[in-house]
């Protein structure tokens, strides 16, 4: 007997026919004594449709009401799924976020799960029902509906898998798994069989879109084995699991990129204590998230430059905010910015045991004539900011240089 949580996203349940197919697939893969919990997103396109309605009502839609509105999407898919399952002769029951007390904080549109009451779920599973849960939604202490923000259904699935101590959490998606890089950019991209939580966290935060970072962090915290696989094929996908020795055989596991950032430099600011606060407090007060920050060393004249990146959608607002910062800091060099940049990153737990990985990345880029604007590193990743136009070139060069198209024997052995 196994307890499995399976999550299907919006394209997998995009219309009634697809919902039926998902029901068939879930039932076919279920052994008699398996316990299955299914988590569903809204039909693809539904969230956009509802958001458009909301924006036609109010310029900045009220966030409490937005959650009431958006949570209707999963309500539709889970009830239809339960009907489809019953039509196949398998008993099934749907639960919404507030029905199984997926308690969250009160941060409407971006809430965090705090607790889940498993009683109703376990009772239904013990009655041999398949349980289908509305992803993305919860309820706060006031009884108000909340939603979990981007990737919220993944988070629901992982949280349920954690609290139910599931044997696995399967994330069904429209791709076959996690790839060494974007297959649309590099035709040598290879599906990864096993990857560690930490690598996946870096990949997710650096731009890989298959899994949301929050659900990966949750899975790591509770040691939930994640299986990312395709709705439309029976092939094994990618397992995201606890780090294994074999994983360190390879220095680099994947190359990823992110075109959603913009770069800003404020030049000629006095190099004195508290200057960073003066620059970044107004930005953070405006709710703008800063990613990379580099402060150049004082070049001798008591002045310094600061360069940082923000989301491209926050670029114009940040540039505007900096006008007063230039005044208050008396920055002599003013502000420069560029919207057309890419953050390109290599990720791998093996980096810890392999030296020279960063310098190899720099030389690969240099050999292709790609200038590096900013560098940031962690224990298991190196990121470089480059001009956007070199993105594809850089990815293919790095993928080749680190031989990512080849699987390592050490990992293969571990797969059985």
* Interacting residue ranges for a copy of itself, rule: CB under 8 A: 16-17, 19-20, 50, 53-54, 56-59, 61-62, 64-66, 68-69, 71-73, 75-76, 78-80, 82-84, 86-87, 93-94, 96, 98-99, 143-145
Minimum CB distance to a copy of itself, residue 168 (Å)? 27
Token code pair at residue 143:
């009884």
Minimum CB distance to a copy of itself, residue 52 (Å)? 8
Query: Residue 352 contacts by C-beta under 8 Å, 6 or more apart in sequence?
Result: 248, 379, 380
| Closer to a copy of itself by Cβ: residue 95 or 172 | 95
| Closer to a copy of itself by Cβ: residue 2 or 53 | 53
Task: Tell me if residue 139 falls in helix, strand or coil.
Answer: strand
Number of other residues whose CB lies within 10 A of the CB of residue 404: 24
Minimum CB distance to a copy of itself, residue 172 (Å)? 19
Counting Cβ atoms within 10 Å, is residue 28 exposed (0-12), middle (13-18) or buried (19+)? exposed
Minimum CB distance to a copy of itself, residue 190 (Å)? 39
- CA 205 from chain centre, in angstroms, equals 6
| Closer to a copy of itself by Cβ: residue 11 or 295 | 11
| Closer to a copy of itself by Cβ: residue 62 or 413 | 62
| Closer to a copy of itself by Cβ: residue 50 or 283 | 50
CA angle 315, 316, 319 (to 5 degrees): 85
Token code pair at residue 374:
């900013």
Query: Residue 49 contacts by C-beta under 8 Å, 6 or more apart in sequence?
Result: none
Minimum CB distance to a copy of itself, residue 136 (Å)? 14
Number of other residues whose CB lies within 10 A of the CB of residue 26: 24
| Closer to a copy of itself by Cβ: residue 139 or 163 | 139
| Closer to a copy of itself by Cβ: residue 43 or 189 | 43
User: Among 283, 244, 240, 285, which residue's Cα sits nearest to residue 264?
Assistant: 283
Number of other residues whose CB lies within 10 A of the CB of residue 23: 26
Minimum CB distance to a copy of itself, residue 51 (Å)? 11
Minimum CB distance to a copy of itself, residue 65 (Å)? 4
The rounded distance, in Å, linking the Cα atoms of 238 and 323 is 47
């Amino acid at each position: 007997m196994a307890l499995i949580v399976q999550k299907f996203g919006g394209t997998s349940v995009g219309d009634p026919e697809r919902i039926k197919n998902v029901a068939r697939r879930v039932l076919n893969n279920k052994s008699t004594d398996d316990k299955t919990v299914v988590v569903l997103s809204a039909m693809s396109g539904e969230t956009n449709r509802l958001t458009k309605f909301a924006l036609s009502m109010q310029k900045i839609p009220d966030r409490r009401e937005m959650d009431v509105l958006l949570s209707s999407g999963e309500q539709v898919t889970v009830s239809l799924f339960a009907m489809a399952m019953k039509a196949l002769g398998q008993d099934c029951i749907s639960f919404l976020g507030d029905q199984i007390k997926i308690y969250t904080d009160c941060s409407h549109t971006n809430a965090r799960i705090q607790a889940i009451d498993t009683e109703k779920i376990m009772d239904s599973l013990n009655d041999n029902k398949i349980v289908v849960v509305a992803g993305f939604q919860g309820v706060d202490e006031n009884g108000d509906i909340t939603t979990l923000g981007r990737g919220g259904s993944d988070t629901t699935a992982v949280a349920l898998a954690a609290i139910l101590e599931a044997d696995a959490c399967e994330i069904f998606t429209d791709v076959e798994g996690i790839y060494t890089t974007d297959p649309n950019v590099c035709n040598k991209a290879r599906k990864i069989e096993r990857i560690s939580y930490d690598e996946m966290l870096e990949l997710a935060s650096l731009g890989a879109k298959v899994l949301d970072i929050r659900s990966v962090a949750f899975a790591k915290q509770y040691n939930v084995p994640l299986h990312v696989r395709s709705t439309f094929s029976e092939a094994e996908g990618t397992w995201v699991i606890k780090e294994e020795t074999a994983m360190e055989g390879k220095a680099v596991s994947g190359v990823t990129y992110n075109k959603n950032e913009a770069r800003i430099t404020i030049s000629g600011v006095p190099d004195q204590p508290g200057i960073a606060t003066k620059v970044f407090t107004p930005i953070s007060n405006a709710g703008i998230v800063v990613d990379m920050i580099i402060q150049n060393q004082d070049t001798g004249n008591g002045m310094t430059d600061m360069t940082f990146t923000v989301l491209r959608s926050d670029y114009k607002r940040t540039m505007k905010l900096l006008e007063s910062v230039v005044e208050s800091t008396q920055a002599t060099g003013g502000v420069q910015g560029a919207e057309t940049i890419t953050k390109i990153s290599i990720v791998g737990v093996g980096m810890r045991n392999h030296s020279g990985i960063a310098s190899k990345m720099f030389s690969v880029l240099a050999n292709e004539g790609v200038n590096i604007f900013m560098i940031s590193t962690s224990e298991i990743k190196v990121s470089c900011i480059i001009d956007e136009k070199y993105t594809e070139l850089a990815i293919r060069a790095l993928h080749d240089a680190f031989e990512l198209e080849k699987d390592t024997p050490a990992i293969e052995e571990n797969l059985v």
